Amino acid sequence: MKLLFRVLPLLVVTSVSAAEPPFTAPGMKHDIEFAKAGEVSLTLDAYVPPTAKGDAVLPTCILVHGGGFTHGEKQVFIRPLFEPLVKAGMVWFTINYRLAPDHQWPACAEDVGAAVRWVKAHAAEYHVDLKRIALIGESAGGHLVAWEAVSGGGDTRVAAVVPFYTPFDLVTHVQRRKEMRGLGALIGSREMSEANFAKLAVMSPIHKVRPGLPPFLLIHGDADTTVAPEQSVVFQTKMKEAGNVCDLIAVPGGIHGMNGWGKLNSDYAEQMVAWLRKVMK
């Protein structure tokens, strides 16, 4: 598959405040519990196009926010994708998951799998096409959707995966940055040790690539100093070597986070929607 590429000016990042009113649109429902982990209620927001009637089923996306595994929630960071998916007429869900340090690995990964199973179990209610479900995540959420795709299967298998600026190899990621940050909270130790590197290697999607995975679309800014663009380039190479479909949209000048990309008049979201339509026919 060819490299998808657009020349864009320098990316300016702005943040979306958690205090901002929740995104809403006709057909939107908020704070639906999809699982309970101990005393923690895991919730999602759901959007179904108002035009969906009767037995109609539509392509569906499950969105997973970033935040370094320690912060963020379902209406933050991933929010720039909401409006494009509404315009595309797709069903979509944006989910919360348990965060570190209160909840260590693999709690967050288990929550993503639980969300996929819940969406499938409620497919008829939300007009979900079971054959056309995509997982989309950004940063830490990108790691989680990639992890679910490469390590899951069966009742959590999906038709497509879109990770934004994702650390696929956690060992090289922390070695380049020379610190553990959120990953230290996720495994319960911030020490840069061989023992911790071994833990991170086991958690790295790149080491579980195999033939027969669903198509991936990687989206990454080439000026990202938080997660090196090479993470996506190397992952794409390994995916293709295994015989899988793996495309890449490179954003020249793009730093970490899609907030603010709209100011560049970028069409990355339109490219993503077009790619999803193509691979989820």
pLDDT band at 14 (very low <50, low <70, confident <90, very high): very low
Cα–Cα distance, 116 to 260 (Å, whole number): 29
Cα–Cα distance, 74 to 27 (Å, whole number): 17
* Greatest extent of the chain over all pairs of C-alpha atoms, in Å: 56
Contact (Cβ atoms closer than 8 angstroms) between residue 97 and residue 64: yes
Query: What is the CATH T-level fold of the domain 4-166+211-279, as seen in this structure?
Result: Rossmann fold (3.40.50)
DSSP character string of the chain: -PPEE---------PPPTTSPPP--TTEEEEEEEEEETTEEEEEEEE--TT--TT--EEEEEEE--STTTS--TTSSSGGGHHHHHHTT-EEEEE----TTTS-TTHHHHHHHHHHHHHHHTHHHHTEEEEEEEEEEETHHHHHHHHHHHH--GGG--SEEEEES--S-HHHHHHHHTS-THHHHHHT-----HHHHHHHHHT-GGGG--TTPPPEEEEEETT-SSS-THHHHHHHHHHHHTT--EEEEEETT--S-STTGGGGT--HHHHHHHHHHHHT-
**What's the average model confidence in pLDDT over 208-224?**
95
Q: What is the pLDDT of residue 153?
A: 84
pTM given for the model: 0.92
Asked if residue 42 has pLDDT above 70, the reply is: yes
Q: What is the pLDDT of residue 221?
A: 87
Asked if residue 150 has pLDDT above 50, the reply is: yes
Cα–Cα distance, 86 to 82 (Å, whole number): 6
Asked if residue 4 has pLDDT above 50, the reply is: no
**Contacts of 154 by beta carbon, 8 Å cutoff, 6+ apart:** none
pLDDT band at 7 (very low <50, low <70, confident <90, very high): very low
Contact (Cβ atoms closer than 8 angstroms) between residue 62 and residue 90: no
Q: What is the pLDDT of residue 19?
A: 62
Per residue in 95-136, pLDDT (tens digit) is 999 999 999 999 999 999 999 999 999 999 999 999 999 999
Cα–Cα distance, 146 to 205 (Å, whole number): 6
pLDDT band at 6 (very low <50, low <70, confident <90, very high): very low
Asked if residue 18 has pLDDT above 70, the reply is: no
Contact (Cβ atoms closer than 8 angstroms) between residue 27 and residue 58: no
Per residue in 183-200, pLDDT (tens digit) is 999 999 999 999 999 999
pLDDT band at 94 (very low <50, low <70, confident <90, very high): very high
Please state, rounded to an integer, the average pLDDT across all residues of the chain.
Answer: 92
**Contacts of 89 by beta carbon, 8 Å cutoff, 6+ apart:** 49, 51, 58
Q: What is the pLDDT of residue 9?
A: 31
**Contacts of 234 by beta carbon, 8 Å cutoff, 6+ apart:** 168, 169, 206
Asked if residue 10 has pLDDT above 50, the reply is: no
Domain-wise residue ranges, the chain: 4-166+211-279
Lowest mean pLDDT among 59-73, 75-89, 117-131, 260-274: 260-274
Cα–Cα distance, 272 to 14 (Å, whole number): 21
